[in-house]
Amino acid sequence: MRRAVPALRRVYSSYNLAAAHHARNLLEAAGIRAEVRNQYLSSAMGELPPAECQVEVWVLRDLEFEKANDILRGKSPSGPPWRCAGCGEICEPQFTQCWRCGATREV
């Protein structure tokens, strides 16, 4: 049986290693699997073109690319408010955790 290779797409790039890891952390917190690439190429800058040495963040599933872009561009999720399964509190769609009891939003 042949295993499908995930469709990777670059969603972010920067010369700042900390900014790239922060972007990956934001995506991981939203449930989007991502990885940081080229994080050690800064030492090759000069031998390689600077644009080729940027740190990049790639999403592992093509279907999550648009959602990842929205998160990194600061667009708030739209949709109806949701009810917390833990305490019954009504929460706005941009939140993934209940402000009252701390329960994680069930998707």
Residues in contact with 30: Cβ distance below 8 Å, sequence separation at least 6, in sequence order? 67, 68, 71, 96
How far is the C-alpha of 86 from the C-alpha of 11, rounded, in Å? 34
The CATH number of the domain holding residue 19 is 3.30.70
Reported as a single tens digit per residue, the pLDDT across 29-74 is 889 999 999 999 888 888 888 888 899 999 999 999 999 999 999 8
| Helix 17-29 / helix 65-72 crossing angle, nearest 10 deg | 120
Helices (H), the chain: 17-29, 65-72
Quote the pLDDT of residue 75.
75
Count of domains observed in the chain:
2
Quote the pLDDT of residue 46.
85
Q: 58 and 99 in one domain? A: no
The answer to whether position 2 is within a domain reads: no
Q: What pTM did the predictor assign? A: 0.66
Reported as a single tens digit per residue, the pLDDT across 71-87 is 999 876 678 999 999 99
Reported as a single tens digit per residue, the pLDDT across 1-31 is 555 555 799 999 999 999 999 999 999 988 9
